[in-house]
């Protein structure tokens, strides 16, 4: 058969480089966005142009820059993690092709089958280990955080150099980006106003003290790009090396330089050549883009016994590698002392030491085995194979346990698992059991340490990835001491004091562990909130039960007992269900009391109350209530049921409300013609001015007709509290000029006295939010709307291009699972409703000059 035509590794490497550069472009964009936002902050803060700028000098920028740094760390880290994952995958795709080409050439088929399945393992655990490894005690997040610290100082220098009185945020951002690209100009333009009023230009202290080190750029952005190129390339090469270990037909490989037309001779040329299969190559230096070509067995060797040595096998490093090692022995020794050895020396110590100290070189296991094999008889070989096969299962179990222990131990940098790791690598079965036991004990001890901290510090394991156990112990001790001194006389005072401490530690502490302390305080707040929740729900239960005892003592006793069981089990849903039913009984009892002396037949009502039949009593309650409300029943219903508490306020209430709102629109959406679906998507996604004007003015157009048709078929099955930010023109249209003029003057007392209870008409649709702080909040006027059940409208978050963007094909079932307090959260109210004004009050939660109008929706015209 012909020699395998393996994939063109040079071409694959070029494509790999192109993909890598796309990730560096994304990183550049992240840095640009942060520079633009930092410039905006500097202008808003009113930076003093007569002295060097520092984010720490201004309350606005002090905390904002930390948030920007965290965002930068998360964005850059995500880009690099995505790059390493994708290039690991791309490398494996190339190696799949190598395996298929070899199998096709040597076996006549590319079908791997059971026999060759090992050739196609993609080693996801090795990828995870690569991504979670630590360099000099720092994981990827820590290294990127250090870059964000460097960038903060660069921004301060650049803003100092660029800012002048009256500089706009846009202009400053452009200048800052310019100086960030040219560090030397940035440092030369630092200025300081002297006592005599003159301006002196000089290098800042930061600039004078800034020595990034050999091989490190003065630009944080370039360092981030350098880190990305190195990490992504190492992931690609590591995946390649892992696969070649699995390929018994690979007997070595050749490292080649890129030779791309812009190539300058460097160490890559000096080290290029053919290397043994067990030589680990992930790059000669940071940003190295050399590539490898595997060296294969011949077809006869592929089918031969494993003991047959390949004529193509590379058994030693090339002479030029040995020469380079000898020529650079002093540099290698110095790097060893500094702890900055290149990867290719760290990963191949035996090869390096064999070059530097040839007199100490021992025979390799392969050489010793070959000599023994040559001296054995056929009987000896059979005996060895029999004993070996009997031993294999036991050794495999020992190694499996060792690997499992090692995998767990690698979660903690403080556990010394190097001996076990080396023993696994060396396949030292004899010592593995004892060493596995020692490391397992260290793992248990570390878990015990974390458990001891977890009573105060939440997510200890996550924090332990960033800080040592001793640092976390210090945090616990400090937080515990502070908490012991706080006023805990009431839950509310304790919660308030905890919130103060959480805020104080972030603003004032200089320790890196301050975020751990903040999390500990917030966790205590969560615990206190839980206690407040149970206290309040118990109080509600007691009030309801007390009233119920007067009409049905037996039922009151049973419900009280059931409620206590739910509380004892910490069953919130069960407890809330009992409170919900008790609240129904409370309304039933109140209505019964008001009708007892009237001329209305309430015999059935009283019967159901005495029998404790809630559903029948509630049905009768609604009948009697409706008859009492008369013609103005909706307005009276709103008055009785009115609340300002939002239906959505946490994860559980979000999930529950989504199911209700989606259930309300399910049938209408599923059965709606496509033009009706597209009408609401156009309205919510593009802010169609034509639809807004025409609907509000009572005109008709095709889109309005379709949207009206859809919303006419959808009603709320439960009361909803909604909010919407609007310009002043909207209350002017709904309630009139006099109302709007007083509102504009912000004389809210006069507005409330004159217009409380006033009704207006809104002919147009209104985009609202079911979150108190989410969406449609960038306006000074906020409508706080009580929409009673029966109100026409539709949840639009799932279909809007501004939110989940599921479009016309939405299944009217699925929705985003996680609740976002400030995220896009649209509910579209139908037009043509009467709005009743309740009151207005100042509210600065959404804007500094915000005014909230409380509204009840009544009938439609």
Residues 6+ apart with CB under 8 A from 845: 772, 773
Query: Tokens in use for 537?
Result: 């729900």
Mean pLDDT calculated for residue range 664-679: 93
How does pLDDT run across 420-433, given as a tens digit for each residue?
A: 888 888 777 778 88
Of 607, 596, 601, whose CA–CA distance to 623 is shortest? 601
Residue 523: its pLDDT value, please? 92
Q: Is the pLDDT of residue 213 over 70?
A: no
Where does the pLDDT of residue 252 fall: very low under 50, low under 70, confident under 90, or very high at 90 and above?
A: very high
How far the first Cα of the chain sits from its last, in Å, is 85
Higher pLDDT residue, 801 or 270?
A: 270
Of 147, 153, 144, whose CA–CA distance to 56 is shortest? 153
In sequence order, what are the beta bridge partners of 273? 255
How many angstroms separate the Cα of 307 from the Cα of each of 3, 220, 302, 374? 22, 53, 11, 11
What SS3 class is residue 787?
Answer: strand
* SS3 assignment for 534-575: HHHHHHHHHHHHHHHHCCCHHHHHHHHHHHHHHHHCCCHHHH
Question: What span, in angstroms and rounded, lies between the C-alpha atoms of 732 and 25?
Answer: 49
Beta-sheet strands, E only, within 151-260? 191-193, 199-201, 250-256
- Is residue 371 exposed (0-12), middle (13-18) or buried (19+ Cβ within 10 Å)? exposed
Percent of the chain with pLDDT over 90: 26
Where does the pLDDT of residue 822 fall: very low under 50, low under 70, confident under 90, or very high at 90 and above?
A: confident
What SS3 class is residue 714?
Answer: coil
How does pLDDT run across 12-36, given as a tens digit for each residue?
A: 888 999 999 999 999 889 888 888 8
Where does the pLDDT of residue 844 fall: very low under 50, low under 70, confident under 90, or very high at 90 and above?
A: low
Residues 6+ apart with CB under 8 A from 26: 79
Residue 291: its pLDDT value, please? 92
* SS3 assignment for 811-832: CCCCCCCCCCCCCCCEEEECCC
Question: What span, in angstroms and rounded, lies between the C-alpha atoms of 583 and 621?
Answer: 13
Q: Is the pLDDT of residue 372 over 90?
A: no
Higher pLDDT residue, 428 or 232?
A: 232
Q: 577 with 592: CB under 8 angstroms?
A: no
Where does the pLDDT of residue 699 fall: very low under 50, low under 70, confident under 90, or very high at 90 and above?
A: low
Percent of the chain with pLDDT over 70: 86
Of 470, 465, 430, 429, whose CA–CA distance to 453 is shortest? 470
Q: Which fold has domain 651-860?
A: Toxin ADP-ribosyltransferase; Chain A, domain 1 (3.90.176)
Residue 819: its pLDDT value, please? 85
What SS3 class is residue 165?
Answer: coil
Of 640, 643, 642, whose CA–CA distance to 622 is shortest? 640
Residue 630: its pLDDT value, please? 42
Q: Is the pLDDT of residue 700 over 70?
A: no
How does pLDDT run across 468-508, given as a tens digit for each residue?
A: 888 899 999 999 999 999 998 898 899 999 999 999 989 99
Mean pLDDT calculated for residue range 630-644: 74
Residues 6+ apart with CB under 8 A from 617: 585, 588, 605, 608, 609
The answer to which of 57-66, 245-254, 366-375, 698-707 has the lowest mean pLDDT is: 366-375
Q: Which helix (H) or strand (E) holds 836?
A: strand 833-842
Residue with tokens 């633009």: 36
Q: Please give the torsion angle defined by the CA atoms of residues 826, 831, 834 and 840, in that order, rounded to the nearest 10 degrees.
A: 40
Question: What span, in angstroms and rounded, lies between the C-alpha atoms of 507 and 695?
Answer: 50
The answer to which of 389-403, 468-482, 507-521 has the lowest mean pLDDT is: 389-403
How does pLDDT run across 730-775, given as a tens digit for each residue?
A: 999 999 999 999 998 889 999 999 999 899 999 888 989 988 876 6
Q: Which helix (H) or strand (E) holds 508?
A: helix 491-508
What SS3 class is residue 428?
Answer: coil
Question: What span, in angstroms and rounded, lies between the C-alpha atoms of 857 and 835?
Answer: 5
Residue 483: its pLDDT value, please? 92
Average pLDDT, the chain: 83
Domain edges within the chain: 9-247, 249-355, 460-532, 550-641, 651-860
Question: What span, in angstroms and rounded, lies between the C-alpha atoms of 773 and 770?
Answer: 9
What SS3 class is residue 455?
Answer: coil
Where does the pLDDT of residue 368 fall: very low under 50, low under 70, confident under 90, or very high at 90 and above?
A: low
Task: Please report how the helices 491-508 and 469-484 are oriented relative to each other, as an axis angle in degrees rounded to 10.
Answer: 130
Residue 201: its pLDDT value, please? 58
Mean pLDDT calculated for residue range 533-539: 89
Q: Is the pLDDT of residue 550 over 80?
A: yes
Q: Is the pLDDT of residue 631 over 60?
A: no
Where does the pLDDT of residue 164 fall: very low under 50, low under 70, confident under 90, or very high at 90 and above?
A: low
């Amino acid at each position: 058969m012909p020699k395998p035509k393996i994939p063109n590794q040079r071409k694959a490497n070029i494509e790999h480089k192109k993909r890598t550069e796309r990730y560096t472009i994304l990183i550049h964009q992240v840095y640009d966005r942060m520079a633009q936002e930092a410039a905006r902050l500097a202008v808003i803060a009113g930076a003093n142009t007569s002295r060097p700028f520092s984010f720490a000098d201004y309350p606005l920028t002090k905390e904002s820059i930390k948030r920007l740094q965290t965002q930068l760390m998360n964005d850059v880290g995500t880009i690099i993690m995505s790059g390493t994952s994708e290039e690991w995958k791309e490398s494996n795709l190339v190696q799949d092709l190598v395996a298929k080409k070899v199998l096709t050439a040597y076996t006549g088929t590319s079908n791997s089958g059971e026999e060759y399945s090992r050739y196609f393992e993609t080693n996801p655990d090795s990828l995870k280990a690569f991504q979670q490894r630590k360099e000099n005690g720092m994981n990827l997040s820590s290294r990127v955080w250090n870059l964000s610290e460097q960038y903060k100082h660069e921004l301060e220098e650049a803003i100092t150099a660029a800012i002048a009185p009256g500089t706009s945020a846009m202009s400053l951002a452009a200048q800052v980006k310019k100086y960030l690209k040219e560090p030397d100009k940035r440092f030369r333009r630092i200025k300081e106003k002297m006592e005599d009023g003159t301006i002196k230009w000089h290098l800042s202290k930061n600039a004078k003290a800034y020595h990034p080190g050999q091989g490190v750029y003065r630009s944080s952005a370039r360092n981030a790009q350098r880190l990305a190129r190195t990490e992504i390339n190492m992931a690609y090469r590591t995946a390649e090396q892992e696969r070649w270990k699995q390929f018994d037909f690979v007997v070595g490989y050749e490292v080649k330089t890129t030779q791309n037309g812009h190539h300058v001779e460097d160490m890559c040329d000096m080290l290029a050549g053919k290397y043994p299969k067990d030589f680990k190559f992930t790059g000669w230096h940071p940003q190295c883009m050399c590539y490898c070509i595997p060296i294969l067995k011949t077809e006869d060797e592929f089918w031969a016994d494993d003991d047959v040595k390949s004529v193509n096998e590379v058994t030693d490093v090339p002479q030029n590698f040995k020469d380079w090692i000898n020529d650079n022995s002093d540099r290698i020794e110095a790097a060893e002392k500094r702890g900055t050895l290149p990867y290719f020396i760290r990963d191949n110590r035996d090869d390096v030491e064999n070059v530097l100290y040839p007199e100490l070189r021992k025979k390799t296991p392969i050489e010793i085995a070959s000599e023994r094999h040559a001296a054995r008889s056929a009987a000896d070989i059979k005996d060895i194979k029999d004993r070996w096969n009997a031993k294999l299962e036991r050794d495999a179990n020992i190694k499996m346990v060792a690997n499992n222990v090692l995998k767990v131990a690698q979660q903690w940098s403080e556990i010394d698992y190097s001996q076990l790791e080396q023993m696994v690598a060396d396949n030292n079965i004899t010592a593995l059991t004892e060493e596995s036991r020692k490391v397992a004990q260290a793992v248990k001890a570390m878990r015990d340490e974390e458990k001891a901290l977890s009573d105060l510090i939440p997510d200890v394991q996550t924090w332990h990835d960033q800080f040592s156990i001793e640092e976390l112990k210090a945090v616990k001790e400090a937080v515990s001491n502070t908490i012991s001194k706080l006023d805990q006389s009431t839950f509310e005072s304790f919660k308030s004091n905890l919130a103060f401490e959480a805020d104080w530690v972030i603003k004032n502490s200089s320790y890196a562990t301050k975020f751990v302390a903040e999390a500990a305080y917030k966790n205590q707040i969560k615990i206190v909130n839980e206690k407040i929740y149970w206290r309040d729900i118990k109080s509600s239960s007691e009030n309801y039960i007390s009233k119920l005892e007067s009409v049905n003592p037996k039922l009151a006793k049973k419900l009280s007992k059931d409620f206590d069981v739910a509380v004892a089990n910490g069953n919130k849903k069960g407890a809330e269900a009992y409170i919900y039913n008790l609240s129904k009984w409370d309304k039933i009892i109140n209505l019964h009391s008001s009708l007892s002396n009237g001329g209305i037949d309430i015999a059935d009502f009283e019967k159901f109350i005495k029998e404790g039949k809630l559903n029948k009593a509630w049905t009768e309650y609604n009948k009697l209530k409706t008859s009492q409300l008369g013609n103005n029943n909706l307005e009276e219903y709103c008055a009785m049921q009115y609340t300002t508490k939002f239906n959505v306020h946490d994860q559980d209430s979000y999930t529950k409300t989504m199911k209700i709102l989606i259930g309300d629109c399910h049938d209408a959406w599923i059965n709606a013609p496509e033009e009706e679906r597209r009408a609401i998507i156009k309205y919510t996604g593009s802010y169609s001015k034509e639809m807004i004007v025409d609907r509000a003015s009572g005109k008709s157009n095709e889109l309005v007709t379709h949207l009206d048709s859809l919303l006419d078929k959808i009603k709320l099955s439960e009361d909803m509290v909604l909010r919407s930010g609007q310009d002043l023109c909207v209350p002017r249209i709904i309630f009139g000029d006099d109302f709007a003029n007083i509102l504009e003057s912000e004389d809210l007392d006069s507005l409330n006295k004159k217009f409380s209870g006033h009704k207006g008409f809104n002919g147009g649709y209104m985009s609202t939010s079911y979150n108190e702080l989410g969406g449609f909040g960038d306006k000074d006027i906020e409508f706080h709307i009580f929409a009673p059940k029966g109100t026409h409208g539709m949840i639009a978050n799932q279909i809007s291009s501004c939110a989940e963007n599921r479009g016309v094909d939405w299944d009217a079932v699925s929705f985003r699972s996680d609740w976002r307090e400030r995220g896009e959260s649209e509910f579209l109210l139908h037009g043509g409703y009467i709005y009743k004004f309740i009151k207005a009050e100042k509210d600065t939660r959404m804007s500094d000059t915000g005014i909230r109008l409380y509204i009840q929706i009544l009938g439609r015209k």
